[in-house]
Amino acid sequence: VTGWAVGVDIGGTGVRVAQVAATGAVGRVLSEPLDAHRGGGRDLGQLTDMVGALLEKSGPGRPAGIGIAATGPVDPERGVISNRHTLPESFRGPVGRRLEQAFGVPVRLENDADAAAAGESWTGPGATVEILACITIGTGIGCGVIRGAKIVRGPRGWHPEFGHHVVDPSGPPCYCGARGCVESIASGSAVVRAASAAGAVAADAGAADVFAAAARDPDCRVIVGRAHSAIATAVLNLVAALAPQMVVLTGNAIGRPGDLVRQIRRRLGSYLFTPPGGVRVRLSELGGMAGCIGAARLMLEPGVWS
Ligand SMILES: [Zn+2]
């Protein structure tokens, strides 16, 4: 395979665009905080600016296409971002069609958790297994599953929202309609919400502040412990439902990764129905680039998409 593609990752707080080679190697990368007030409506100001800047700097030769990973739900078949809970107005709508018109190359839109899983199963530690689950813990929590080099989907490209399965029925209410889904307890925004409600951090703090405060503040320690326990429960449920050979953890709201991985391994260690060969629990090695790499892969290895 030759050529390259543009991988775009639209998260709850930032946008990243990258040049990704057909080997999965990452070239030039541009990152910016999400700017809800720039552009918007028809011209998608920030997105088109960033992709345009990347293409300009990437010299001659056109990309195979633009793959976009976006915080969900998205409609991959129609190329539409619709969730009013995770992205500002300026990043919603028929993003795929607008970028195709702007740059004249094919565009595919994917849920960010599925894109991260596609990245992890391409050049990450998950490349060696048949069934991989990748959990992204950031502003929200998502989980993508790859089986036989294909993204596992529901009807019409639907992304199964494992981040919203319930781990504590008496937990906090979530915008998804459930109480105590894993996202409502363990996402970056959930730990900030809980810590600021306890008066332990300021309302505008980030998840990293809560994880740092856990070393000295008992409230934050309890909140982080609860978050990690919820994720360990989620992984156990995932193993029970899907029997993956590997679970990869990625995202910027993990806290002390060693603590989390140990807790998950401990939980899995006492579980009877571990699939043959065991379940490997790994941290991502793609340094926050899994979404961009996986999104670009959609254009370079279209088989993973279907
Ligand atoms: Zn939820």
Residue-wise pLDDT tens digits, 52-87: 999 998 867 899 999 999 987 889 999 998 877 778
Integer Cα distance of 15 and 241 in angstroms: 33
What pLDDT score does 13 carry?
A: 82
User: In the 8-state DSSP scheme, what is residue 149?
Assistant: T
Q: What is the residue whose two structure tokens read 């970056």?
A: 188
Ligand 1 centre distance from Cα of residue 175 (Å): 6
For the chain, helix (H) and strand (E) counts, in that order, are 9, 12
Best CA proximity match to 119, nearest among 244, 260, 306, 304 = 304
pLDDT at 1 over 70: no
Residue pair 181/165 in contact (Cβ under 8 Å)? The answer is yes
Residue-wise pLDDT tens digits, 100-123: 999 999 999 999 999 999 999 999
| Mean predicted lDDT score pLDDT of the chain | 92
Higher pLDDT pick, 73 / 95: 95
Q: What is the residue whose two structure tokens read 């607008």?
A: 98
Ligand 1 centre distance from Cα of residue 296 (Å): 28
pLDDT-derived band at 43 (thresholds 50, 70, 90) equals low
Best CA proximity match to 194, nearest among 210, 178, 180, 208 = 210
Integer Cα distance of 206 and 193 in angstroms: 10
Residue-wise pLDDT tens digits, 19-38: 999 999 999 999 999 887 77
In the beta sheet, which residues pair with residue 136? 142, 250
pLDDT at 90 over 80: no
Residue pair 74/80 in contact (Cβ under 8 Å)? The answer is yes
Integer Cα distance of 268 and 155 in angstroms: 31
Residue-wise pLDDT tens digits, 167-188: 999 999 999 999 999 999 999 9
Higher pLDDT pick, 90 / 163: 163
What pLDDT score does 165 carry?
A: 97
Ligand 1 centre distance from Cα of residue 6 (Å): 31
What pLDDT score does 163 carry?
A: 96
Ligand 1 centre distance from Cα of residue 51 (Å): 32
Ligand 1 centre distance from Cα of residue 298 (Å): 27
Ligand 1 centre distance from Cα of residue 271 (Å): 26
Ligand 1 centre distance from Cα of residue 193 (Å): 14
In the beta sheet, which residues pair with residue 137? 141
What pLDDT score does 84 carry?
A: 76
Residue-wise pLDDT tens digits, 210-235: 999 999 999 999 999 999 999 999 99
Ligand 1 centre distance from Cα of residue 171 (Å): 10
What pLDDT score does 38 carry?
A: 72
Ligand 1 centre distance from Cα of residue 174 (Å): 5
SS3 194: helix
Pick from 85-94, 129-138, 142-151, 289-298: least confident: 85-94
What pLDDT score does 39 carry?
A: 57
What pLDDT score does 30 carry?
A: 97
Ligand 1 centre distance from Cα of residue 1 (Å): 40
Residue pair 290/116 in contact (Cβ under 8 Å)? The answer is yes
Ligand 1 centre distance from Cα of residue 232 (Å): 17
What pLDDT score does 37 carry?
A: 76
Share above pLDDT 90 across residues of the chain, in percent, rounded to a whole number: 79
pLDDT mean over 179-206: 96
What pLDDT score does 135 carry?
A: 97
pLDDT at 42 over 90: no
